[in-house]
Amino acid sequence: MAHQTDLLVIGAGPTGLFATYYAGFRGLRVAVVDSLPELGGQITAMYPEKQILDVAGFPSVKGRDLVEGLVAQAASAHPEYFLDRTAVALTHDDQGVTVRLDDGAEVRAGAVLITAGIGKFSPRPLPAGEGWLGRGLEFFVPSFAPYAGKDVVIVGGGDSAFDWALHLEPIARSVTLVHRREAFRAHARTVEQVRATPVRIITSAEVTELRGNGVVEAVELSAAGESITLPAQAVVAALGFIADLGPLQQWGIEVSKRHVCVDSAMRTSLPRVFAAGDVTEYAGKVRLIAVGFGEAATAVNNAAVAIDPHAHVFPGHSSEGT
């Protein structure tokens, strides 16, 4: 027998958690599915220590603290969570939508809201790092404490690489950032902040070998034709990740460049199926957490009408409650 709910949210990252709260505010029963075992999506999995600077009302908020607040807020909706499970199939009719999970369970909902972010993700490998994962090589930095007093080499030129360099520099013995190009993808402000620290930046360089007796002890680089050996007890490969929307792409939803196409009401090409957050695509789309929050409210309000045609899209302000 299928689990019954009004709104099924697929994805428990920031956008999905805020959508869960807002569904409760609208008086909807809500269930949430996520392929990860914990709430918080990418933030929990990859960036819990990262300072997030683009959430309204917070000059700066640590990732784990933002997730903690969102989870507490979502709890007011009394959601039913299906964690560590993947939505693999979706069918719909005039009365609702049925989603089948990878463990065989089914959830029957009046509407579905997809907040899957980039979908399932896996880190891009460091070619020279094969066999070293967990022995000094890591792809993410969920906690800074293990890096205290170590020589750390960070490989990459994006936001994650520079964020981690900035936060590890005060506690590590040394931090070296290695990038294969002269230009960086990271935010210019963060690059300047790192340049103002003792972090060593080596560009036009690639890691050719990790060395050590059981655990990493040194890193070999090729930089401008020269060989450089760096002491390193920790290597962070911040090379981005490979994203995959997975089974969602087989549901008949219009997808463009691994993103779900939506209209101004956050409706997808399927009836009763909405989307919000980084997974969406439309003209002028900006992928920020702050944007995802607004899209979540828009999607839930429009889904409420799909669930109950007598409902109004705009329910009033949350500050107007009794």
The dihedral built from the CA positions of residue 37, 39, 41 and 45, taken in this order, carries a sign that is negative
Structure tokens at 178: 């290695």
Q: Is 65 one of the annotated binding-site residues?
A: no
Q: Is 229 one of the annotated binding-site residues?
A: no
Q: How many residues does the chain have?
A: 322
Beta-strand relationship, 87-92 and 61-62: unpaired
Within a 10 A sphere around the Cβ of 143, how many other Cβ atoms? Answer: 10
Q: Is 87 one of the annotated binding-site residues?
A: yes
Q: Which long-range contacts (CB under 8 A, 24 or more apart) does 199-206 make?
A: 199/165, 199/166, 199/169, 199/175, 200/174, 200/175, 200/176, 201/176, 201/177, 202/176, 202/177, 202/178, 202/228, 203/179, 204/180, 205/178, 205/179, 205/180, 206/128, 206/178, 206/180
Q: Is 15 one of the annotated binding-site residues?
A: yes
Q: How far apart are the C-alpha atoms of 81 and 79, rounded to whole Å? A: 6
Which residues pair with residue 34 across a beta bridge? 83
Q: Is 22 one of the annotated binding-site residues?
A: no
Q: How far apart are the C-alpha atoms of 255 and 275, rounded to whole Å? A: 11
For residues 70 and 14, is the Cβ–Cβ distance under 8 A? Answer: yes
Within a 10 A sphere around the Cβ of 230, how many other Cβ atoms? Answer: 18
Q: Is 42 one of the annotated binding-site residues?
A: yes
Annotation: binding site: 15, 34, 42, 47, 87, 121, 278, 319
Annotation: binding site for FAD: 15, 34, 42, 47, 87, 121, 278, 319
